[in-house]
């Protein structure tokens, strides 16, 4: 009876969601039909000039309303402070930025982000390349099984992955250890270790990075495996005939030809790591010197109610990501020109 009541409580929300989807699709069709109908009634020259914009105008409006305007608003808020009592916004210039860089905890946050950038993307690409190279040479059945297992973590969210790894790192002071790592340590006669609280050599940060690497290696492996298989056999055979070793063939023939794919994977993981949030928030909440920019933003905005500093953090993150995105776009354009 209780289960039926629980299900019935969700039916109105489900019905509303389905109705919204159907009405949204129908509204889009009607909107495009009306705009196309109106444009076709114009003179031919005007109709030909305006028709492309008819189809991209709604998309541009959505992008402007949900992406461009919030970005502009965030940039403005980064130069203001909001009164906790009245909610009034006051322009303070660069005070939020100077306050952030004057805070030792924020400097630690920046260093943590830098460490993530240095370790995770490179390790993810190297592991993906290693697994792709090995699995491509073990036979079709073993290849499918191995790749399926490696790719499986991509099917779960970062929060779910972090929850699973929490049991691996779990530490229970004074009680029986249920975490796998501490269970191994205690079975060997050692003392349990609070893994996520160990700040020496940034061990807790590195343990969090392992989770993200585990979640992204399958993505790296799939793309790099496809790129390796696309390398022309003629180039490999020619190098083999000339007496090149397997190592020389890989580093001098295969790797240069899959460089563009490797760079794309690296940049994709790099951008994801720069705005990492969920794994750190779910595992440590940014405590024990593991804070990153994403968690710092959430804390400043929701916990401390400091809209100005939160917006300043977002602006800093955005300024760091923009050059990488520009490089990625230029890289894609060069690839298209070569084709």
Which region holds residue 193: left if phi is over 0, alpha if psi is between -120 and 50, else beta? beta
Residue of higher predicted confidence among 52 and 205: 205
Indicate the DSSP class of residue 64: I
3-class SS at 285? Answer: coil
Question: Taking a C-beta distance cutoff of 8 angstroms, is the pair 217, 128 a contact?
Answer: yes
Residue that wins the pLDDT comparison between 189 and 121? 121
> What is the pLDDT at residue 6?
55
Go through the domains of the chain in sequence order and give each one's CATH number: 2-77 (no CATH), 97-338 (1.10.3720.10)
Using pLDDT thresholds of 50, 70 and 90, give the confidence band for residue 95. Answer: very high
- In the chain the beta strands, taken as DSSP E runs, fall at 80-82, 89-91
User: For position 139, what pLDDT does the model report?
Assistant: 81
Question: Which pLDDT belongs to residue 86?
Answer: 74
User: What does the pLDDT read at residue 132?
Assistant: 92
For 145-170, b/e burial (b = at least 16 CB within 10 A) is: ebbeebeebeeeebeebbeebeeebb
Share in percent of the chain as helix, strand, coil (round to 5):
80, 0, 20
What confidence score (pLDDT) does residue 1 get?
43
2 pLDDT tier (thresholds 50, 70, 90): very low
Q: Is residue 94 pLDDT above 50, yes or no?
A: yes
Greatest Cα-to-Cα distance within the chain, rounded to the nearest angstrom? 87
Residue 4: pLDDT over 80: no
Task: Report, as an integer, the average pLDDT of 209-238.
Answer: 93
HEC profile for 158-227? HHHHHHHHHHHHCCCCCCCCCCHHHHHHHHCCCCCCCHHHCCHHHHHHHHHHHHHHHHHHHHHHHHHHHH
pLDDT at site 205: 96
Tokens of 272: 């994801």
The pLDDT of residue 3 is: 46
Is residue 335 very low, low, confident or very high in pLDDT (cuts 50, 70, 90)? confident
Q: Rounded to two decimals, what is the model's pTM?
A: 0.85
pLDDT tens for each residue of 103-147: 999 999 999 999 999 999 999 999 999 999 998 888 888 888 989
Res 12: pLDDT = 74
Structure tokens at 168: 């691996």
Task: Please choose, from the candidates 289, 291, 265, the residue with its C-alpha nearest in 3D space to the C-alpha of residue 279.
Answer: 291
């Amino acid at each position: 009876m209780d289960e039926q009541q629980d299900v019935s409580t969700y039916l109105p929300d489900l019905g509303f969601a389905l109705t919204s989807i159907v009405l949204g699709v129908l509204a889009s069709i009607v909107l495009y039909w009306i705009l196309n109908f109106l444009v076709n009634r114009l003179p031919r020259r005007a109709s030909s000039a305006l028709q492309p914009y008819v189809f991209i105008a709604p998309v541009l409006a959505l992008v402007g309303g949900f992406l461009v305007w919030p970005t502009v608003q965030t940039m403005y808020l980064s130069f203001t402070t909001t009164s906790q009592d009245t909610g009034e916004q006051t322009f303070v210039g660069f005070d939020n930025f100077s306050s952030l860089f004057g805070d030792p905890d924020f400097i630690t946050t920046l260093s943590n982000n830098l460490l993530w950038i240095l370790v995770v993307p490179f390790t993810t690409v190297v592991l993906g390349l290693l697994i792709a190279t090995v699995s491509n040479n073990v036979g079709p059945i073993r290849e499918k099984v191995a790749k399926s297992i490696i790719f499986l973590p991509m099917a779960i969210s970062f929060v779910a992955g972090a929850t699973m790894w929490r049991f691996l790192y779990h530490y229970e002071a004074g009680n029986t250890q249920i975490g796998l790592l501490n269970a191994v340590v205690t079975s060997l006669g050692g003392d349990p270790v609070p893994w996520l609280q160990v700040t020496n050599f940034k061990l807790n940060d590195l343990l969090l990075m392992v989770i993200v690497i585990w979640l992204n290696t399958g993505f790296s492996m799939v793309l790099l495996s496809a790129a390796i298989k696309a390398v022309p056999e003629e180039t490999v055979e020619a190098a083999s005939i000339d007496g090149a070793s397997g190592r020389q063939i890989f580093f001098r023939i295969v790797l240069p030809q899959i460089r563009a794919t490797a760079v794309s994977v690296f940049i994709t993981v790099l951008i994801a790591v720069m705005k990492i949030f969920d794994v750190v928030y779910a595992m440590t909440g940014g405590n024990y010197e593991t804070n990153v920019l994403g968690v710092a933003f959430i804390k400043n905005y929701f916990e401390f109610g400091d809209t100005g500093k939160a917006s300043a953090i977002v602006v800093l993150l955005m300024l760091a990501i923009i050059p990488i995105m520009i490089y990625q776009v230029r890289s894609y354009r060069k690839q298209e020109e070569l084709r």
